[in-house]
């Protein structure tokens, strides 16, 4: 009977879970990966649910899509993926589990009065559900990775230029619809070419990563930062007027100036110049807003660097032809 099969699973949960967990490595070796205790816990819960289904088929709903065990199996797949396993390896674990379950059934079931077809139907349903959940979690994870690669800069982890173009368009639309302010800041690392020449391009990459990290520290959840190109960054600050954005950017400016990029002994400090422009005060569309922020940045670079400059402060100079981009 199925009740007998349930007891067999219950009595062997620990052994089954260990064989599932260590299908590709031996316990107490260097290949046991971080998070295996959490994986072991989920495997044990799945096997307990399998025993419950064998005892009473009313529990089959746990293994259906959106059921509690189905979700656990998806979480298991995500954990295995985070541990560095490939989908093929996890599928092999599933095969090991299936083989071990049926080996237990063959050796322990008493043949009299046993509905083997009912047992097989329930076990197959549960294990196929686990397999389906695992594949879904891997495919979802790969899709998320591809999406992240498509919208982020690989070095800094900030949004890339293409995603910035989408974000600024969306935020302009939102600011216009709800009649709320929006500020764009363009940030450029001062004397970055000289820094690269002195310390090397690898140090330059470290500098870009660290400055990107400092930018993130001072932003709200609603803000967005992107690597605009080379050593230039763009920061979109929705619901922020000039004064509010100026305070945020001043904090970033001071934090970068105080930061030792390489180590405390090396004189490897950098500074940044930042230009601000606000919508709708300084510009009426995306193109004009970017141009205004770029003009403010240009003034910051040409009046001493290591400062934050607002477009409104440079209007008079710009209109009189005070500077021209070379």
Query: Which sequence positions are flagged as catalytic?
Result: 231
- What is the full DSSP assignment across 154-181? TTT-SB-HHHHHHHHHHHHHHHHHHT--
- Select from 131, 124, 136, 135 the least CA-distant residue to 60: 124
Instruction: Using alpha carbons only, give the angle 114, 119, 124 rounded to the nearest 5 degrees.
Output: 160
- d(C-alpha 190, C-alpha 185), whole Å: 15
- d(C-alpha 255, C-alpha 115), whole Å: 72
- d(C-alpha 110, C-alpha 155), whole Å: 62
Which tokens sit at 15?
A: 């052994």
- Select from 274, 275, 220 the least CA-distant residue to 252: 274
Q: Are 174 and 239 in contact (CB under 8 A)?
A: no
Distances (CA, A) of 11 to 83, 105, 109, 127, 322: 29, 12, 13, 18, 85
- d(C-alpha 279, C-alpha 11), whole Å: 68
Which tokens sit at 227?
A: 């690597």
């Amino acid at each position: 009977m199925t009740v007998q099969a349930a007891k067999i699973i219950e009595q062997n949960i620990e052994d089954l879970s260990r064989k599932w967990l260590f299908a590709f490595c031996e316990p107490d070796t260097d290949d046991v990966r971080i998070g295996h205790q959490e994986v072991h816990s989920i495997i044990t819960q799945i096997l307990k649910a399998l025993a419950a289904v064998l005892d009473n088929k009313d529990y089959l709903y746990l293994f259906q899509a959106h059921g509690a065990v189905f979700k656990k199996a998806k979480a298991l797949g995500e954990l295995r993926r985070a541990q560095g396993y490939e989908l093929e390896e996890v599928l092999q674990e599933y095969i090991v589990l299936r083989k071990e379950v049926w080996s237990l059934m063959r050796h322990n079931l008493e043949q009299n009065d046993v509905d083997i077809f009912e047992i097989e139907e329930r076990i197959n349903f549960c294990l196929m559900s686990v397999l389906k959940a695992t594949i879904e979690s891997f495919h979802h994870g790969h899709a998320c990775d591809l999406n992240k690669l498509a919208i982020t800069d690989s070095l800094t982890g900030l949004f890339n230029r293409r995603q910035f173009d989408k974000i600024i368009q969306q935020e302009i639309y939102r600011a216009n619809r709800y009649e709320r302010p929006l500020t764009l800041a363009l940030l450029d690392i001062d004397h970055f070419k000289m820094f690269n020449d002195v310390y090397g391009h690898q140090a330059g990459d470290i500098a870009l990563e660290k400055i990107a990290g400092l930018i993130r520290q001072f932003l709200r959840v609603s803000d967005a930062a992107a690597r605009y190109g080379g050593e230039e960054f763009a920061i979109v600050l929705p619901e922020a007027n000039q004064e509010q954005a100026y305070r945020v950017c001043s904090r970033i400016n001071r934090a970068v100036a105080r930061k030792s990029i390489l180590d405390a002994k090396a004189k490897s400090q950098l500074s940044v110049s930042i230009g601000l422009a606000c919508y709708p005060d300084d510009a009426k569309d995306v193109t004009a807003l970017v141009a205004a922020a770029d003009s403010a940045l240009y003034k910051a670079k040409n009046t001493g660097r290591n400062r934050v400059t607002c477009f409104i402060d440079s209007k008079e100079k710009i209109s009189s032809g005070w500077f021209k981009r070379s």
